Amino acid sequence: MAVPYHLLKACGGIVFASQGTDIHSFGSNLEHISTWKYPLQVKSTETTAEKPAATTEPTAEVSASPTPEGPPAKRRRTEETKEETPKDQDATEEAAAAAPVKKGRFHRSPVQVANERPFINCLIATTDGRHLILTTGSDKTIWVLEHDGAGNLKQLSQRPMPKRPCSITLTHDNTTILSADKFGDVYALPLIPSSEPTSSASTPKPIPSRSATPSSSTTPGFKPQANEFTVHTRRNLRALENQRLTAEQVKQQKEANEAEKAQFEHTLLLGHVSMLTAITVGQAVSPATGIQRDWIITADRDEHIRVSRGVPQAHVIDNFCLGHEDFVKSLCILPGHPSILVSGGGDDDILLWDWLGGKLITRAPVLQHVKEITPEAEKVAVGRVFGYQTVEGETKVAVVVERVPALFIYTFSPETPLLQHTETISLPGNLLDVEYLQKQSKLLVTVDHSSSLIIIEGSTQTPAQNLPAGEDLKIEPQELQKLLYTTESLRKLSDFD
Amino acid sequence: MGPSKKNQKRTNDENAPVKKNKKQKREDYRAAMREEGVSTLPRKKFYRQRAHANPFSDHQLVYPPHPEQMDWSTLYPEYVVKGSEETPAEETSESTAVIPKLLTQDVEVADIGCGFGGLLVALAPVMPETLVLGLEIRVSVTQFVEDRIKVLRHQNPGTKLYQNVSVLRANTMKFLPNFFRKSQLSKIFICFPDPHFKARKHKQRIVSTTLNSEYAYVLKPGGIAYTITDVPDLHEWMVQHFEAHPAFERVSEKEQEADPCVRIMRMETEEGKKVERNKGQKYVALFRRLEDPVW
pLDDT digits (tens, 9 = 90+) for A136-164: 988 899 999 999 988 899 999 999 999 99
Smallest CA–CA distance, residue A286 to chain B, in Å, is 6
Residues of B in contact with A226 (CB under 8 A): 3, 195, 197, 231
Asked if B65 and A322 touch (Cβ cutoff 8 Å), the reply is: yes
Q: How far apart are alpha carbons A118 and A136 in whole angstroms?
A: 6
Q: Tens digits of per-residue pLDDT, A158-190? A: 999 999 999 999 999 999 999 999 999 999 999
* Of the partner residues B231, B233, B295, the one whose CB lies closest to the CB of residue A286: B295
Strands A176-181 and A305-309: unpaired
Q: How far apart are alpha carbons A91 and A112 in whole angstroms?
A: 7
Q: How far apart are alpha carbons B107 and A327 in whole angstroms?
A: 28
Of B288, B3, B145, whose CA–CA distance to A239 is shortest?
A: B3
Please give the order of strands across the beta sheet that includes A317-320: A276-285, A292-300, A305-309, A317-320
Of B283, B203, B76, B164, whose CA–CA distance to A216 is shortest?
A: B203
Q: How far apart are alpha carbons A308 and A14 in whole angstroms?
A: 33
Which of the residues of B are catalytic?
194
Q: Tens digits of per-residue pLDDT, A368-424? A: 999 999 999 999 999 999 999 998 889 999 999 999 999 999 999 988 889 999 999
Q: In this structure, how many other beta carbons lie within 10 angstroms of the beta carbon of residue A302? A: 24
Asked if A296 and A309 touch (Cβ cutoff 8 Å), the reply is: yes
Cβ of A211 within 8 Å of Cβ of B203? The answer is yes
Q: What is the DSSP letter of B210?
A: H
Q: Is the peptide bond before A312 cis (omega within 30 degrees of 0)?
A: yes
What is the reported pLDDT for A494? 63
Which residues of B carry a binding-site annotation for S-adenosyl-L-methionine?
113, 136-137, 171-172, 191, 269-271
Please return the burial class of B20, using the count of CB atoms within 10 Å of its CB with bins 0-12, 13-18 and 19+. exposed
* Of the partner residues A208, A288, A303, the one whose CB lies closest to the CB of residue B209: A208
What is the reported pLDDT for B4? 45
Confidence of residue A100 (pLDDT cuts 50, 70, 90): very low
Task: Output the pTM of the full model.
Answer: 0.82
Of B154, B126, B159, whose CA–CA distance to B265 is shortest?
A: B126
Residues of B in contact with A319 (CB under 8 A): 182
What is the reported pLDDT for B20? 65
Mean pLDDT, chain A, whole residue set? 79
* Of the partner residues A185, A211, A323, the one whose CB lies closest to the CB of residue B66: A323
What is the reported pLDDT for A195? 66
Average confidence (pLDDT) over A73-86? 42
Listed in sequence order, the residues at least 6 apart from B280 whose beta carbon sits closer than 8 Å to its beta carbon are: A229, A230, B230
